[in-house]
Structure 1
Amino acid sequence: MTRKRNRHSADQIVKKLRDADAMLAAGKSVGEVLQALEISEPTLSRWRAQYGGMKKEEAKRLKQLEDENQRLKKLVAEQALDIQMLKEITRGN
């Protein structure tokens, strides 16, 4: 059975991490927590590594910075292609 991939916002991730910690502290098993949150164990581990201990505002800022970084990388790649094309054009003349 394939599931539609869910994208979570930074706020949702921080909330789910808090909920997971609360459920585990209340004595629920990891399997029960994963099922209740509808996520996989690797997802929980990845979220803990990336967002563990963050507040909602910090997680939101991190996500904004990651998006900005992605945009800038794309811009640099496009400029590198433009430079390469210009070099090939001038080499042909």
Structure 2
Amino acid sequence: MRQSRFTEAQIIGMIKEQEAGMPTAEVCRRHGLSPASFYKFKAKYGGMHCTAGYRVAMSRE
């Protein structure tokens, strides 16, 4: 499986930027990803904190 360009912490940070009020298009433009990828990440990582993302990564290994 292909490895993501972004770490879980970066993805969670992007989601938090969008939830804080930044438009989705602006978040995507700043980080260089498509809106479809952003919403896929949001579905997977939305509502997590950085430590929760770390636990998910550790459970996969």
- Report the TM-score range of the alignment, normalised by the length of the smaller protein: 0.7 to 0.9
Partner of 1:42: 36
What is the deviation of 1:16? Answer: 1.1
Q: Which runs of 5+ in 1 are unaligned?
A: 1-5, 69-93
Partner of 1:15: 13
- The equivalences for 1:23-62 within 5 A come to 25=21, 28=23, 30-62=24-56
Alignment root-mean-square deviation, CA: 2.0
The count of aligned residue pairs is 59
Partners of 1:58 and 1:44 in 2: CA distance:
19
Q: Which runs of 5+ in 2 are unaligned?
A: none
Q: Which has the larger radius of gyration?
A: 1
Partners of 1:12 and 1:33 in 2: CA distance:
12
Name the structure with the higher helix share: 1
* 1:52-72 C-alpha deviation (Å, 9 max, x unpaired): 000100011111212x2xxxx
TM-score scaled by length of structure 2 = 0.76
| Structure 1 stretches of at least 4 aligned residues deviating more than 2 Å after TM superposition | 30-33
% same residue: 24
Task: Give the partner amino acid of 1:9.
Answer: T
- The equivalences for 1:64-75 within 5 A come to 64-66=58-60, 68=61
Which is bigger in relative contact order (C-alpha 8 A, separation at least 6)?
2
